Amino acid sequence: MRTLSEKRLTPLLRELAQRERDLRRLIAQEHDRIESEGFAELHERTYDEADHAFARDCLAQESRLIIQHLSEVYEVAGARDRARQGTFGICLDCHDEISYERLKVNPAAQRCAACQERRERMYGLRPQESHVTIP
């Protein structure tokens, strides 16, 4: 099993660090937006059923977005941990190497394309990289 060279690993780690900073900024912005738009306060203080439902739905939508960003932060942190442990770029399922092309598209990838596709079919998951073609 081959590991990534420093020349290939370094830019991927830089990209992961930048993505984590971006995600944390987005989380803070979403949190500030929830606070500034007063959905939580509206939800707590309204007695009108329609306003209450609107505020609840808005809070739920904003919370889902924050949870999605947090989930990606954990994926990035996991990739950085794997790099420290020397297992970055190794598929969690088959233990083969994840292609460098795939890692360039998604440096936090945990599985090779074949195992990720199999997992999505088996568990009915939607692809994490749905906006890109899996190499």
Domain ranges across the chain: 1-87, 89-135
- The one-digit pLDDT tens for each residue of the chain (135 residues) are 556 888 999 999 999 999 999 999 999 988 887 777 665 565 556 566 776 676 667 777 777 888 899 999 999 999 999 999 999 999 999 999 999 999 999 999 999 999 999 999 988 865 554 444 333
The Cα–Cα gap between 135 and 120 comes to: 16
pLDDT at 135: 39
What is the 3-class SS of 11-55, one letter each residue? Answer: HHHHHHHHHHHHHHHHHHHHHHHHHHHCHHHHHHHCCCHHHHHHH
| Furthest-apart CA atoms within the chain: distance in Å | 63
Nearest to 81 by CA among 104, 117, 107: 107
